A and B are shown apart, each in its own frame.
Chain A
Amino acid sequence: MLKIQDLAVSTGGTRILNGLTLAVSAGEVHAIMGPNGSGKSTLAQVIAGHPDYTVEQGTVTFDAKDLLELEPEERAREGIFLGFQYPVEIPGVNNAYLLKAAVNAKRKANGQDEIDAFEFLKLAREKMSLLGMDPALLNRGVNEGFSGGEKKRNEILQMAVLEPRLAILDETDSGLDIDALKAVAGGVNALRSPDRAIVLVTHYQRLLDYVEPDVVHVLSKGRIVRSGDKSLATELEERGYDWVQEAASA
């Protein structure tokens, strides 16, 4: 589904990703782990099309489509979703309004009619209740004054409503208490299906106790230096990242 080949990316003249190669197939959950500054968030942002990053070499394809040729909104309509590490506060833009506009942008791209207002509210409320979210958040400004946990749940809500084919969650677990972590994990697990893929970008193994990954990758200095099954995550938790990095440079 997602194929990244020898990808090099820089921002502001600094090289962040350095020949990264990764393949994610439908039905799989991948975890991308690594120390701070290893390039995890950059990878997530580049897949979503953030304009601040320059791709210097390599290819990124999604179902054989050249992703690098597409605008961020086109990628979203193809079914790619990025859960932000720091969801943006947009005062004055109603949360429900954005959610509905996003649903309709996707429906329009698929040649469908706009969603019925009643149907939309029903859908949003149902997903919110599954995530343990206060329905009042629907009528607030997007992430405006939301707590850290509410912001992350709001990302998962958008994902749940948009039903992407590839979801990339950038440190969605950071800063969450155990209840919020479980709610987020529940939202991710609910999305798991044979025709979808999920990439979890995370610093800690904690989330992986609730969302079991098929593959775990370790990113260091802009490259994947080790891949393995979920036991790799446990090993990282016990031994830290240094041994992987040392082994990689040896």
Chain B
Amino acid sequence: MNDAAVDEGLLRVAVERMAAQNLGAIRAAALERFAEAGLPTTRHEDWRYTNLTPVAALSNRWLAQIAPQVATEGLEELRSDSIRGEIDAHWIELDNGILCSDSLGQLERELAGGVTLSRLSEADGREVHIGDPLSSFNAALMPDALLLKVGAGVALDKPIGFLLRDDASTSVCHVRLLIRLGRGANAEFVEAHRSAGGAEHFANLVTEIELDRGAVARYVKIQERAETHMQVGRLLVRLDDESRFEHSSVDLGGKLIRNDVSVTIAGKGAHFSTSGVYLAHGRQHIDNHICADHAVGPATSRQAYRGIASGRARCVFNGKAIVRQGADGTDAEQTNHNLLLSDRAEIDTKPELEIYADDVKCSHGATVGQLDAQALFYLRSRGLDRERAAQILTRAFAGRVLSEIAVESVRPYVERIVDAKLDALVEADEE
């Protein structure tokens, strides 16, 4: 078995064995797309810094088992997940990628008509995105997909939460969420990644979001996986006229994390903003790729990410803005600031602009630096020990993003987990 690539024979057998459920045609098409391309390698420019070999190896081991079985029996410790008590949301649970029917039914009752929830297997002729290898890999193996529609003009009272809980009973899961906001709808979303135990795991998440004219969505990803987890996520968003998509990403856990946020601005007067914070220690690897594709103008996009790496961690940021021909009146901005707490940590940051229109305003800025020695001495001269001074400075650095987290009601939770991770980062650096 070649562990650098997903074994096609095993994959074909696995797809055949999956319950047909109406998804046969989608799976077959996705399988062919994936078989052609395979997983991207570091020879692809977009994947230069992120090596998916361990993903292929784990996937092969999983596929070689009887069949892609999904179990949810080991999740007891997450059943009463603390996050539910801390973030007030309409939670939808996905245990090892499997939608919990209980939570779906309960949610529909709670939301009383404003939101429709269904499964892809129940929808006729609905297509899903399979245009890139990880999306086709996902579509070939996803157990089902969630369809969520917020009705036109509906404004939700509190966020909808996706609680992704994974444990050792299943080592691979492919999750797909399909979300649509009708005209003028207004909704907030929280995507929380949690794990039970410290076994190896690979999660491949694809979320497709469509915003109709004038809709507003705020979406926050909070990732606190065990440091044995690998996770790739694609967030594919399409914006119609006057719609707004405000996104934030908080990555604290995981061994290998790759996020692709790809937003197509297809409507005049639309706005896309994303802010993110990633904190990595040990040998964690966190890669964020953002693309704001301005197909029409005028429209605005904002990207502002901050990262801190200690130990031997590695972080990647690639922020791109494409301004298509005729997308005049585009206003695109991106910044990425990074802090290195150790000599052996590495951060690669690359802002990219592709501009084919004339009347545009674009800017970008990226920095990688260390804790300011003068500020550190200043704090110590006031009686704070070195570790505490470093904590205060790293907190201040990350804090710039925390005040911009798109869903305001999750900020206290995010602040708490970021503080805890920062303490771990600074302590690890002291050793």
Contact = CB atoms under 8 A, between A and B. Distances in A.
A106 to B, nearest CB: 5
Contact of A101 (B378, B388, B397, B399): B388
B379 A91 contact: no
Interface string B378-396: 1111111110110011011
A88 B382 contact: no
A88 B384 CA distance: 15
Nearest to B379: A98
A234 B375 CA distance: 36
A87 B378 contact: yes
Interface string B272-291: 00000000000000000000
A51 interface: yes
Q: For chain B, which range describes its interface: under 10, 10 to 19, 20 to 34, or 35 or more residues?
A: 20 to 34
Contacts of B386: 71, 73
Given A92-B395, A93-B392, A101-B392, A49 B400 contact: no
25 contacts: A49-B380, A51-B373, A71-B385, A72-B377, A73-B381, A73-B384, A73-B389, A76-B382, A84-B378, A84-B381, A90-B378, A91-B396, A93-B392, A93-B393, A93-B396, A98-B392, A101-B384, A102-B382, A102-B383, A102-B384, A105-B383, A105-B388, A141-B396, A162-B382, A162-B383
Given A92-B400, A101-B388, A72 B381 contact: yes
B264 to A, nearest CB: 34
B393 A158 contact: no
Instruction: Tell me whether chain B's interface is mostly helix, strand or loop, or mixed.
Output: helix
B80 interface: no
A151 to B, nearest CB: 12
Interface of B: 372-375, 377-386, 388-389, 392-393, 395-397, 399-400
B374 to A, nearest CB: 5
Contacts of A52: 373
A112 to B, nearest CB: 13
B380 A76 contact: yes
A7 interface: no
A121 to B, nearest CB: 18
B382 A158 contact: yes
* Max chain B Cβ within 10 angstroms of own Cβ: one of A51, A72, A101: A72
Given A92-B396, A92-B399, A105 B384 contact: yes
Nearest to A158: B382
Nearest to A91: B396
Interface in A5-62: 48-52
Nearest to A79: B383
A102 B382 CA distance: 5
A115 interface: no
A128 to B, nearest CB: 17
A208 B381 CA distance: 25
A82 interface: yes
Contact of B383 (A51, A88, A109): A109
A48 B384 contact: no
* Max chain A Cβ within 10 angstroms of own Cβ: one of B374, B375, B381: B381
A113 to B, nearest CB: 16
A4 B361 CA distance: 59
A203 B349 CA distance: 45
A77 interface: yes
A81 B380 CA distance: 11
Contacts of A91: 396, 400
Contacts of A50: 377
A131 B386 CA distance: 30
A8 to B, nearest CB: 21
A86 to B, nearest CB: 8
B381 A82 contact: yes
Interface string A102-135: 1001100100000000000000000000000000
Contact of B393 (A77, A90, A101, A105): A90
B56 to A, nearest CB: 41
A88 B378 contact: yes
Given A49-B381, A73-B386, 15 more contacts: A51-B373, A51-B377, A71-B380, A72-B380, A73-B384, A76-B381, A82-B381, A87-B378, A88-B374, A92-B397, A93-B392, A102-B384, A105-B383, A105-B385, A141-B396
A92 B388 CA distance: 15
Contacts of B382: 76, 98, 101-102, 105, 158, 162
Given A73-B386, A88-B374, A88-B375, A48 B396 contact: no
A90 B381 contact: no
B391 to A, nearest CB: 11
Nearest to B385: A73
Contacts of A98: 379, 382, 392
Contact of A73 (B373, B383, B392, B400): B383
Contact of B380 (A73, A92, A109, A162): A73
Contacts of B393: 90, 93
B298 to A, nearest CB: 32
Nearest to B397: A92
Contacts of B397: 92
Contacts of A92: 395-397, 399-400
Contacts of A71: 380, 385-386
